[in-house]
Amino acid sequence: MYNLPSMRVLQIQGNMFRGDIPADIGRRFPSIRYVLEYANLASNSLEADDSKGWEFVTSLSNCSQLLQLSMYSNRLTGQLPDSIGDLSATLQFLRFDQNGISGSIPAAISNLANLNVLSVADTSISGVTPESIGKLANLVKLGLFNTDLSGGIPPSFGNLSKLTILDAYRANLEGSIPATIGTMKNLISLDLSYNRLNGSIPIDIFKLPVISMYINLSHNSLSGTLSSRVGTFANLNNLVLSGNQLSGEIPDSIGDCAVLQGLWLDHNSFEGNIPQSLNKLKGLSTLNLSLNKLYDAIPDAIGAIHNLGQLNLAYNNLSGTIPTSLQNLILLSGLDLYLTKFSITGNNELCGGLPQLHLHPCQTSSIKKNRKWHLKHYIILALATTGALVFLAFIFQFIKKKSRGNHSPILSPVIEEQYERISYHVLVNGTNGFSEANLLGKGSFGAVYKCTFADDETIAAVKVFNLQQPGSTRTFVTECEAMRRVRHRCLVKIITCCSSINHQGQEFKALIFEFMSNGSLNDWLHPKSDMLTPRNTLSLEQRLNIATDIMDALDYLHYHFQPPIAHCDLKPSNILLAEDMSARVGDFGISQILPESANKILQNSNSTTGIRGSIGYVAPEYGEGSAVSTTGDVYSLGILLLEMFTGRSPTDDMFRDTLDLHKYAECGLSERVLDIADSTLWLHLESTDSIARSRIKDCLVSVFRLAISCSKQHPKEQTPMRDAVVEMHAIRDSYHIFSC
């Protein structure tokens, strides 16, 4: 490596290198001092301590073009040397986090005037945070979290006008929050939680113009009231003030935080009423007001927040009945987009509501009027007859209640099985602002994007609904309801959902699915490339496996799930292929959950809402006004099978007048079966002798017969799904035995 003539990038991240870093790394390379720009030695086991090992920093000061130095996640201990301030003035990126470094941050670090990113987080760095950091005018991200710093937040931080992210949670900071923090005009994320900060929240903090991700000041000792200026946070997603000593009323202006998704004010001393203005927060998904001194009734306003997923009002002084609007929200908890975690424990004056809430009945005025009279006679009667039994019963009930614990009431078993919802901001980041580069496809109700989550590089598919399209909201609800209930290896797995407000203050709904790396079946049946090869087409065996997977999924939906589900839109673009080319049925946007007795044609006209499905695949009976049923899926399956094995779409130009795909296959079934089969099948065959062709023909004849039977226009003439799936398994297994 010492003989490399002009090394600009030194990238050895994520290996198993151990020991000291060469002390002369910046001097002995022939040209490194003039050309090295990136040095990434992170995630190894490199060592240094106060006695030796830090000499490499001094050596790297000779590299006049250095832009990045990444040393995080190693075994560096001891104190950062003052020579760190002698590194190149061009340096933009400096990370020493996730090491055992101790001692103070060198004041000379302020010499690195072009620094954009500085992190010493997750270390044992101690001492007072140097004021000189405020001289780093180009700093964009500063990480000080999980350290042993002391003293307060330097007022000079207000000079960091380009800073967007300040992470200083669990940093042992104390004192008050400086007013100068309000001058950080580009700050989008501020986390000062779990410190020892005191005093009031400075009014200047409400001047932050673009703060959007979150403000987290939780678990400090902040006191005073929450200013009405909080309403100026028009773009803020999350406000976390839990675990402080804040008091006074929650200001009505909180309702002006138009895109707020999470509000945590718990473990404080707020008093007064819960603001009615909360109903303006249409995107709010989490509201925690527990362990305060709030009183009077729960406002109807909370029930109007239809995206609310978590609501905690426990341990206040709330009274009265549960609002009907909130009860309706609880009843809708079966969907992922509605209330999943709810607690009102510790509000002894609350009454009525759903039986699941276990509250005592509310007393009517007539009962209250005669309460003393009834109480007197009941006491006399009890003392005269069964006083002892009443006392024992009271003790028994008390013990029984105590044994239940103090957790929140369980509303229904399904609530505990919900998915953890995801924020709009995470989806924006993961799709690069829903860019065209990440667009996987578009449909009538929205678009699907590839999303890469930053925390673990997980890839998912995000279906974003176009809420301007009539019926799209209903489609979102339908798909949530269908997919949260089903569990099968051949059905696309839903990961979570997002029901929120976007940056323009508009409603936003999306579903997040497992990412299928091989795209849709449509992409493989009708490849865009003019050059057809075995790499971009499907073999006969692959088609048989895919067909079997599809039919297994439908068999589950129709017969092994109660109540049955009719998919209603079976077509190649709704069949997705995993890395191993196994198939998953997806897109339940217009599916219908049927009455439990329904596995035939239904005679319930209320379930008919117009033609369901896509042109070419929709069952003919739907066009005649018949009710949705599982037989509609059987017809669509038949057309899909014909398309899979002929390679022709039911909407091809050749199909006009009286000729359709069904008749086309029917005419060629006997003598011309090899002619109507997809010609790309032959690309995958190593042998085309007469025996092989005969076996393939027999297999195709069996498939076409089944497909033609399923796609008959009259449901009574169709092969039932439970028989069709058995037959397809037999066809596939028979061909597999031959091919082996």
In three-state form (DSSP H/G/I as H, E/B as E, the rest C), the secondary structure along 278-308 is HHHCCCCCEEECCCCEEEECCCHHHHCCCCC
Q: At what angle do helices 661-668 and 690-710 cross, to 10 degrees?
A: 140
Q: How far is C-alpha 233 from the chain's CA centre?
A: 24
Q: Is 463 annotated as a binding residue?
A: yes
Given 319, 335, 356, the domain boundary residue is: 356
Give residue 476's identity as a one-letter amino acid code: F
Strand partners, 70: 40, 95
What pLDDT is recorded for position 141?
Answer: 93
37 found inside a domain: no
The alpha carbons of the chain give a radius of gyration, in whole angstroms, of 33
Tokens of 86: 């002698």
With beta carbons less than 8 A apart as the criterion, state whether 447 and 461 touch.
no
Same domain, 543 and 653: yes
Rounded to 10 degrees, what is the CA torsion of 627, 631, 637, 642? -100
Q: Please tell me the distance from the alpha carbon of residue 265 to that of residue 320, in angstroms, as a whole number.
A: 22
Given 356, 377, 396, the domain boundary residue is: 356
Task: Give backbone dihedrals phi and psi of 333, rounded to 5 degrees, phi first.
Answer: -70, -5
Same domain, 489 and 545: no
What pLDDT is recorded for position 566?
Answer: 84
Same domain, 494 and 546: no
532 found inside a domain: no
133 found inside a domain: no
Q: Please tell me the distance from the alpha carbon of residue 584 to that of residue 575, in angstroms, as a whole number.
A: 6
What pLDDT is recorded for position 378?
Answer: 47
Q: How are strands ordered across the β-sheet holding 269-272?
A: 174-175, 196-200, 221-225, 245-249, 269-272, 293-296, 317-321, 349-351
What pLDDT is recorded for position 369?
Answer: 43
Same domain, 491 and 589: no
374 found inside a domain: no
Same domain, 543 and 508: no
State the CATH number of the domain containing residue 714: 1.10.510.10
658 found inside a domain: yes
How are beta strands 459-465 and 507-514 bridged, if at all?
antiparallel
DSSP secondary structure string for all residues of 143-155: E--S-EEES---G
Same domain, 457 and 556: no
Q: Please tell me the distance from the alpha carbon of residue 251 to that of residue 277, in angstroms, as a whole number.
A: 9
Q: Please tell me the distance from the alpha carbon of residue 431 to that of residue 452, in angstroms, as a whole number.
A: 7
Q: At what angle do helices 721-739 and 690-710 cross, to 10 degrees?
A: 170
645 found inside a domain: yes
State the CATH number of the domain containing residue 239: 3.80.10.10
Cα 697-701-704 angle, rounded to 5 deg: 135
Q: Considering only CA atoms, which of 550, 553, 727 is closest in space to residue 639?
A: 550
With beta carbons less than 8 A apart as the criterion, state whether 565 and 486 touch.
yes
Site of tokens 């995470």: 426
Tokens of 34: 């003039």
SS3 content of the chain, % helix, strand, coil (to 5): 35, 20, 45
Q: At what angle do helices 540-559 and 721-739 cross, to 10 degrees?
A: 150
Same domain, 647 and 575: yes
With beta carbons less than 8 A apart as the criterion, state whether 29 and 54 touch.
no
Q: Please tell me the distance from the alpha carbon of residue 389 to that of residue 243, in angstroms, as a whole number.
A: 45
What pLDDT is recorded for position 29?
Answer: 56
Given 307, 325, 356, the domain boundary residue is: 356
Residue ranges making up the domain that contains 644:
539-738
Task: Give backbone dihedrals phi and psi of 546, rounded to 5 degrees, phi first.
Answer: -65, -45
How far lies 702's CA from each of 38, 541, 669, 670, in Å?
A: 62, 14, 9, 11
With beta carbons less than 8 A apart as the criterion, state whether 341 and 314 touch.
no
User: How many domains does one find in the chain?
Assistant: 3
**In order along the chain (740 residues), what is the average pLDDT of each group of 10 residues?**
65 86 68 72 91 88 88 93 92 93 93 94 94 93 94 94 93 95 92 95 93 92 96 92 96 93 94 94 89 93 79 91 71 41 84 75 56 46 48 44 33 33 84 90 82 82 84 70 71 82 84 89 87 87 95 88 82 92 79 48 34 78 78 93 94 84 86 86 74 85 94 90 90 75
pLDDT tens, residue by residue, 40-72: 899 899 999 988 889 988 888 888 888 999 999
Same domain, 490 and 547: no
Q: Considering only CA atoms, which of 348, 303, 351 is closest in space to residue 324?
A: 303
> Phi-psi category of 19—alpha, beta or left, where left has phi over 0 and alpha has psi -120 to 50?
left
Site of tokens 């925390």: 455
Say what the pTM is: 0.58
Q: Please tell me the distance from the alpha carbon of residue 703 to that of residue 544, in angstroms, as a whole number.
A: 9
322 found inside a domain: yes
Same domain, 257 and 310: yes
State the CATH number of the domain containing residue 492: 3.30.200.20
129 found inside a domain: no
Same domain, 489 and 557: no
Same domain, 492 and 613: no
Same domain, 499 and 556: no
Q: Please tell me the distance from the alpha carbon of residue 189 to that of residue 718, in angstroms, as a whole number.
A: 60
pLDDT tens, residue by residue, 469-507: 777 777 777 666 666 667 788 888 888 888 888 888 788
Q: Please tell me the distance from the alpha carbon of residue 721 to that of residue 638, in angstroms, as a whole number.
A: 10
How far lies 655's CA from each of 40, 624, 709, 714, in Å?
A: 61, 21, 19, 20
Q: Please tell me the distance from the alpha carbon of residue 32 to that of residue 23, in angstroms, as a whole number.
A: 14
Q: Please tell me the distance from the alpha carbon of residue 12 to that of residue 42, in angstroms, as a whole number.
A: 7
Alpha helices in 447-594 (DSSP H): 472-485, 521-525, 540-559
Question: What amino acid positions are annotated as catalytic residues?
Answer: 569
